[in-house]
Amino acid sequence: MTVRLSAPERRQQILDVALEVFGRSGYHGASMNDVAEAAGVTKPVLYQHFDSKRHLYEELIDDVGNRLLGAIAKATADAPDGKAQTERGYQAYFRWVAQDHDEFVLLFGGSMRRDDEFRDTLRRITDDAATAIAPLIAVDVDPEVQRVFAHALIGIAESASRHLVERGEQFDPDEVAHRIAGLAWAGLRSLG
Amino acid sequence: MTVRLSAPERRQQILDVALEVFGRSGYHGASMNDVAEAAGVTKPVLYQHFDSKRHLYEELIDDVGNRLLGAIAKATADAPDGKAQTERGYQAYFRWVAQDHDEFVLLFGGSMRRDDEFRDTLRRITDDAATAIAPLIAVDVDPEVQRVFAHALIGIAESASRHLVERGEQFDPDEVAHRIAGLAWAGLRSLG
DNA sequence: GTCATGGGCTACCCGATGGTAACGAGGTCG
DNA sequence: CGACCTCGTTACCATCGGGTAGCCCATGAC
């Protein structure tokens, strides 16, 4: 027997559950039935709250992406210099990863890159991050090259996180962030 | 009317065509009919040469992965020191990317990470690369941390490549490799 | 010419899955 | 009480896509 929930509660519960299901199996690997079952409910209920599988997924990644970008923006806002900005930015990123592996997997697990529409969303996120990072790079470098570097620095965080998440164990985000920021900052300084 | 090919020729042609089709649409996004059509042939022909969609895909990624790892191993084999090894390793990587975007997209486009079996294959490839990179990192660092750094350095190449490939334009792999290797090497030295 | 070999095709099966129509059941308010 | 509103269910449709059975026809050897 299913517990009856109010519409907003049910909607939020579906989002919570869907995050985990899609994180585990990916967009194509998880069916709407899977999501419904995990929510302890049947399929039509999902369609009372979301127009389609795509819409449900999009709402998820928008939420998660904004949470990530917001955390980084907030953390770096009042940093005194580039070095502190680098450190705090990575710190916010790795804390976000460590706090909820599902969110990381949802965004960077791969499903996002395999679909034109979702790819655009993910690109918007990484481009936003790259735009924030680019000013840290020596100003006399060609802007196009700056962007390549910026994406490289984002890739550092993504790959290190993937490695850590795949290992399954917990990790100390601040320690990782400190080490990675040291590597990135040294790399950046070498360009000047 | 279809051109008749001998079995080995047809098999190879299917592999060539499948690389492009899967690269464009991903494993789930491309159907066997799509592959067949692109090869100018019908579905049963594919199944005369490959047991299943999975097997076809696996053969592709094995080929491509081995090509990448082989190129890097060959390039770094006789490098005199760590710095040269770093530079030549990235050079081989970016040359591989620039030479055939499809191969890069196939491996790192995302499809690979969404499936337990394929994920293992991709992990084998990146772990091999990480094992090759780890010795370049200061020996007095904790081995687990070394691996995190190694994966971070791989991520640099992957993310920079993705950015370049998504932009669509050609790029000079040696120039990119030189710059990225500079960044990575400066980062590595800072750890000592 | 004819006949065997083998490469290719048409037509089909069937399971999975996104999505929907129509129907309960239980609380609430006049 | 009875009308109604809302949350949920059962049962279904339609399509897609992996995979297969069985047939056809081009080619080359003799």
Token pair of A6, please? 């109010």
Average pLDDT, chain A: 95
Instruction: Express each pLDDT in B44-101 by its tens digit.
Output: 999 999 999 999 999 999 999 999 999 999 999 999 999 999 999 999 999 999 999 9
Cβ-based neighbours of B64, under 8 Å, separated by 6 or more:
B19, B103, B106, B107
* Residue A138 confidence (pLDDT): 84
* Residue A34 confidence (pLDDT): 98
3-state secondary structure of B169: coil
Of the ranges A114-123, A175-184, B112-121, the best mean pLDDT one: A175-184
* Residue B22 confidence (pLDDT): 97
| Same-fold call for B1-50 versus B67-189 | no
Does residue B25 have a pLDDT over 80? yes
Superfamily of domain B1-50: Homeodomain-like (1.10.10.60)
Binned at pLDDT 50, 70 and 90, residue A191 comes out as: confident
Amino acid at A151: H
* Residue B191 confidence (pLDDT): 82
Distances (CA, A) of A51 to A22, A58, A65: 17, 11, 21
Does residue B43 have a pLDDT over 80? yes
Average pLDDT, chain B: 95
**Distance separating the N- and C-terminal Cα atoms of chain B:** 65
* Residue A1 confidence (pLDDT): 62
Q: Which of residues 31-90 of B touch strand C (CB under 7 A)?
A: 41-45, 48
A4 in contact with nucleic chain D (CB within 7 A): yes
Binned at pLDDT 50, 70 and 90, residue B1 comes out as: low
As ranges, strand C nucleotides with an atom below 7 A of a protein CB are 6-11, 16-22
> Which pTM value belongs to this model?
0.94
B170 in contact with nucleic chain C (CB within 7 A): no
* Residue A2 confidence (pLDDT): 79
Cβ-based neighbours of B107, under 8 Å, separated by 6 or more:
B61, B64, B65, B68, B122, B125
Does residue A183 have a pLDDT over 80? yes
Superfamily of domain B67-189: Tetracycline Repressor, domain 2 (1.10.357.10)
* Residue B61 confidence (pLDDT): 96
Token pair of B98, please? 């620039």
List helix spans (H) across B77-100.
Answer: 82-99
Closest CA to A98 of A188, A190, A183, A160: A160
- Please tell me which of the candidates B156, B162, B182 has its beta carbon nearest to residue A156: B156
Binned at pLDDT 50, 70 and 90, residue B153 comes out as: very high
Amino acid at A88: R
**B115 touches A at CB < 8 Å:** yes
Does residue B134 have a pLDDT over 80? yes
Verify whether the Cβ–Cβ distance B160 to A152 is below 8 Å.
Answer: yes
Instruction: Express each pLDDT in A102-121 by its tens digit.
Output: 999 999 999 999 998 899 99
Instruction: Express each pLDDT in A40-79 by its tens digit.
Output: 999 999 999 999 999 999 999 999 999 999 999 999 999 9
Verify whether the Cβ–Cβ distance A155 to B160 is below 8 Å.
Answer: yes
The hierarchical CATH code for the domain A61-189 is 1.10.357.10
The residues spanned by each domain of chain A are 1-50, 61-189
